[in-house]
């Protein structure tokens, strides 16, 4: 399998590392390897140059479900970018086990799972069902 070739075939590029705003510090690692597992910190959506990408706001009153799906897709690319920097090769990933997605949603919004599908679908498209299949939560915040 060639994850990076698949991304290129899809017309997608991994974003640069997140450009942190002035005065903002990140006292944690984006990824942490222990044994044969990688623990991944929460990520946001990034543009190719590493700047934060929108839109921001509550789903569905300020951001449409389709926009939220696209944001989740950009988050997946940001995660893959961090993994590439940590592992050197995205093909070292042999299984996606668990994804926890958080959606900035209006109270009682029942479709958070559909928003996070943007993340899951990208991972499945890049890795296929054997490696990409994962357990998942998708909660509204």
Ordered per-residue pLDDT tens for the chain, 141 residues: 699 999 999 999 999 999 998 999 999 999 999 999 999 999 999 999 999 999 999 999 999 999 999 999 999 999 999 999 999 999 999 999 999 999 999 999 999 999 999 999 999 999 999 999 999 999 999
Residues 6+ apart with CB under 8 A from 137: 99, 100, 101
User: How many CA atoms are closer than 13 Å to the CA of 11, on its beta-carbon side?
Assistant: 0
Q: What is the pLDDT of residue 28?
A: 95
pTM, 2 dp: 0.96
Quote the distance between the C-alpha of residue 18 and its chain's center.
13
Burial class (CB in 10 A: 0-12, 13-18, 19+), 45: buried
The two tokens of residue 131 are 């490696």
Residue 130, helix vs strand vs coil = helix
pLDDT at residue number 21: 86
């Amino acid at each position: 399998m060639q994850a990076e070739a698949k991304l290129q075939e899809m017309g997608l590029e991994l974003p640069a590392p997140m450009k942190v705003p002035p005065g903002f510090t990140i006292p944690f690692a984006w990824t942490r390897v222990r044994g044969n597992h990688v623990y991944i910190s929460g990520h946001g959506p990034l543009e190719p140059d590493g700047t934060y990408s929108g839109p921001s706001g509550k789903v569905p009153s300020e951001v449409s479900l389709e926009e939220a799906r696209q944001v989740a897709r950009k988050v997946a690319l940001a995660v893959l970018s961090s993994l590439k920097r940590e592992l050197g090769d995205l093909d070292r990933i042999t299984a996606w086990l668990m994804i926890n997605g958080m959606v900035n949603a209006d109270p009682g919004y029942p479709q958070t799972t559909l928003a996070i599908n943007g993340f899951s679908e990208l991972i499945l498209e890049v890795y296929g069902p054997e490696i990409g299949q994962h357990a998942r939560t998708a909660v509204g915040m």
